[in-house]
A and B are shown apart, each in its own frame.
Chain A
Amino acid sequence: MNAALGTAFGAVGLLALAGSLLVGAPYAQLRGEGAPAGLRPYTAEAARGREAYMALGCIYCHSQQPRDPRQAPDAERGWGRPSVPADYAYDHPHLLGTMRTGPDLFNIGARQPSRDWHLLHLYDPRAVVPGSIMPAHRFLFDVGGAAGPEDVVVNLPGGGTAVARPEALDLVAYLLSLDHTYPVAPAEGSVP
């Protein structure tokens, strides 16, 4: 080829084609999608917890996208029904994830509703899940100081306590808010 400009235009043209197919068209298709009736917006606490979820890099091991039963037994594992685009109406940015080094968390709030469990699990994952390779998040807790009346105290197995810092409480509030067990109606025309 002799034409540098031609090559550049061709390259941009094909990228534009790809972008309009993979991003542009779905953008138009999904834009009008509202939130399902059963989905609540995040509370301020859960929204802060979501920031902590990002800052601590939870997405590198946990997905939030159960697959359909005919592809994978995600529902049988208790991870919930297959997710649909509307379930993510309040999600900026998306946290779908690509790894399941740990389990899917799309319905962790329904599956594991105990705040105490979550706090202890964050503090010392192997205390509640033997063999877990999740990193301990002890830096989200204060140990050794006296607990005030408003403090949330985590009772550690074998004695001792830790006080959850606000970041830990926010993170757990976010995890508990991950409950997408409401049913969704399939879109019109999709039932054969």
Chain B
Amino acid sequence: MIRLNHEALARENREPIEAPRRMPPVFAALVVALAAWGAAYLWRDAGEGRFGEGDQRTPAALLVRPASGGAIDGKALYEARCAACHQASGLGLPGAFPPLAGSEWVLGAASRPASIVVAGLGGSIQVKGHAYQGAMPAFRDQLSDAEIAAILTYARGAWGNGAPPVEVDTVAAARAALADRAGPIEGEAELVRLVPSP
């Protein structure tokens, strides 16, 4: 048995209606103004020579990779490319990513770190008395010789590392020596064999 709330129903107002009042003239003006603005905006902006590539695309930005500009900043490149693992402090993450600060590999012959950055490194490596297992990716396709040299120069000079700068030629030589190689250098053992200390 359905019982409704008769009192509530009875005390309600009538069903609503609309008053036959015209809209304020300002509304007609608003509509006309917006119509004019919208049409003008579309007329000017909807085509404008950038049709299918996306919203507001600059053709030049599509053609080239984002360039770093004039001088190569080794510190900026390090922070963009390397610091995620090796940390801005160069201390790495103990147990996961080896340190570069005070690392015998960074401070030693420049051709070794250059080879690691070019080709990547897998397997096991002993750094400052601790063994690290891991896979560092190759950067040969992503960084130029000059960029790799700048990064290494920064890493060899920062955090109390006192090693001399790395020449672009050293990186170019490492790249040439490893040109045929597909995979990463397999650990400390192969690194030492492939890139003998001068």
Contacts and interface: CB of A to CB of B under 8 A. Distances in A.
Q: Does a CB–CB distance below 8 Å link A and B in the complex? A: yes
Contact of B85 (A70, A81, A116): A116
Contact of B49 (A29, A158, A181, A189): A189
A190 B93 contact: no
A75 B97 CA distance: 28
Contacts of A184: 53, 62-63
B95 A190 contact: no
B96 A116 contact: yes
A116 B54 CA distance: 34
Contact of B61 (A69, A112, A127): A69
Contacts of A185: 62-63
Contacts, number: 119
A68 B134 contact: no
A117 B96 CA distance: 9
Most A C-beta atoms less than 10 A away, residue of B57, B64, B85, B139: B57
Interface stretch (A42-50, A149-157, A163-171): A149-157
A127 B52 CA distance: 42
Interface in A65-83: 67-71, 75-76, 78, 80-83
Contacts of A127: 93, 96
B161 interface: no
A72 B143 CA distance: 24
Contacts of B57: 68, 82, 84, 186, 190
A143 interface: no
Contacts of B93: 120, 127-128, 157
Interface residues of B, number: 34
Contacts of A69: 58, 61
Interface string A50-72: 00000000000000000111110
B63 A183 contact: yes
B13 interface: no
Given A112-B84, A117-B84, A190 B97 contact: no
Interface string B82-106: 0011000000011111000000000
A4 to B, nearest CB: 17
A190 B133 contact: no
A84 to B, nearest CB: 5
A97 interface: no
Contact of A186 (B55, B59, B95): B59
Interface of B: 49-59, 61-66, 80, 84-85, 93-97, 132-139, 142
Given A84-B62, A120-B93, A186-B59, 5 more contacts: A33-B52, A68-B61, A81-B62, A116-B136, A190-B53
